[in-house]
Amino acid sequence: MNNLLVAQSGGPTTAINATLVGVLHGVRTSSKVDKVYGAKNGIEGAINDNLIDLNELIRDTDAMDTLTYTPSSALGSCRYKMKDWREDEEPYKKIIATFKKHDIKYFIYIGGNDSMDTVDKLSEYCKLNNHDIYVIGGPKTVDNDLNLTDHCPGFGSAAKYVATTISELERDISVYDIPAVTIVEIMGRNAGWLTAASALARVNGGPGPDLIYLCEKALDYDNFIQDVKDKLATKPGVLVAISEGLKDTTGAYVSDSMSSGAVDNFGHKYIAGSARALEQLVREKIGCKVRAIELNLMQRAAAHIASETDIVESVMLGQKAFSCAVNGETGKMAAIKRLSDNPYRVEFASVPVSEVANHEKVVPMEWITPEGNDVTEEMMAYLRPLIMGQVNIKYENGIPKQHKLY
């Protein structure tokens, strides 16, 4: 028996189940795999022999279709970081025991940086110990920070959510004739790709965000206040997009530096986001109406406004990961290579996962304007194709239908 195990890890996205479905399509249409299982809660399911039988699912095309558009990780997730086997071999032995017990020959792990590190270590371990096991990574992250792939599954859908939401918020804040600043905090601790996607709110000629600050560039508070004042001089409602992980010129997180003195009635420190911190600053320095908005988990969970481009590519990357595994590749990640922006064309490839793991692809400084408060046309050309197309979500009783595996 040659069986396949698939698992999901890291922060959920709206496209990670599409990649799972891509793997399952591979199994369904190939004679190389006998049975397919999912590991529950990522690599922990492989360590603890906690598997879900997916063999029924692959014959239920309706369920597969609904699962494609269901947000978050249907197999559950984990934040488990594998140690080097020379340091702690126990988890490796347990994984191999699970693999042997269920005749697993192929393992596909869908996730971000930490998951690619697991793929790297596990594939190395299997090679060194002559296990006939093929380990392949499927990329996923709304942060879009994985190396060697043009962009990451999940990012395009999050970007479409951000662009749509910013364009809707722009309409909302434009109605009153009094000065007001709205600061929208967007996910990204170290990579500002998703914050940059706020600029896509301008694709149809709307103003989008008036100012954009990515975490790659240190924020000078005085310049920030001056930027906001300059915009307020031209219009009453000013919309600002900032990265969660924005840092100031001392290298401290904006959120930390601004909120360190704040404690509640119990004496606990308030954990404010970067938008809350800048909200306080604007209130202090400008004194106008100001509001902080966090797009929070919605930006990675809003499957109802997923990008068709993203979902289709995510399925195809699952298929690519599958074919890499059954064709004897190991220690690789399925990746997207962009051939052209316009017309948008890509091809799928496999890349060495060792060069992906533990790297973070951040926004190049040349794609941020010299003033540090907007993105360039190069960034726009990169981003535009990724939000194209709408998914054919099925609604039931007024909300999107979902498929659950447990």
Instruction: Kindly identify the residues of this chain, within the stretch 370-399, that bind a second copy according to CB under 8 A.
Output: 384, 387-390, 395-399
Task: Give min distance, CB of 13 to a second copy, in A.
Answer: 9
Cα gap 385→196, rounded to integer Å: 14
- 189 phi and psi angles, rounded to 5 deg: -80, -45
The number of angstroms, rounded, from the C-alpha of 286 to the middle of its chain's C-alpha atoms is: 35
Q: From residue 115 to residue 154, what is the string marking binding to a second copy with x (rule CB under 8 A)?
A: ----------------------------------------
- The yes or no reply on residue 41 touching a second copy (CB under 8 A) is yes
Q: For the purposes of burial, counting CB atoms within 10 Å of the CB of 14, is it exposed (0-12), middle (13-18) or buried (19 or more)?
A: buried
> CA-based angle 388:394:398, to the nearest 5?
115
Q: Does 369 bind a second copy (CB under 8 A)?
A: no
**Catalytic hit among 120, 143, 227, 310:** 143
84 carries an active-site annotation: no
Among 294, 341, 349, 359, binds a second copy (CB under 8 A): 294
Give the sheet arrangement for strand 289-294, strand by strand.
211-213, 237-243, 180-186, 289-294
Minimum distance, C-beta of residue 328 to a second copy, in the bound complex (Å): 31
Query: Which of 305, 325, 368, 375 touches a second copy by CB under 8 A?
Result: 305
Q: Is 27 in the site for a second copy (CB under 8 A)?
A: no
Q: Does 79 bind a second copy (CB under 8 A)?
A: yes
Q: Which range of residues in 200-208, 240-248, 339-347, 363-371 is near a second copy by CB under 8 A?
A: 200-208
H or E element at residue 248: none
* Under rule CB under 8 A, residue 296 binds a second copy: yes
Please check whether residue 145 is in contact with residue 190, taking contact to mean a CB–CB distance below 8 angstroms. Answer: yes
Interface with a second copy in residues 223-282 (CB under 8 A): 258-266, 268, 270, 272, 280
Least spacing, CB of residue 148 vs a second copy, in Å: 25
Q: Is the peptide bond before 343 cis (omega within 30 degrees of 0)?
A: yes
- Tokens of residue 363, six digits: 């926004």
**Residue 63 binds a second copy, judged by CB under 8 A:** no
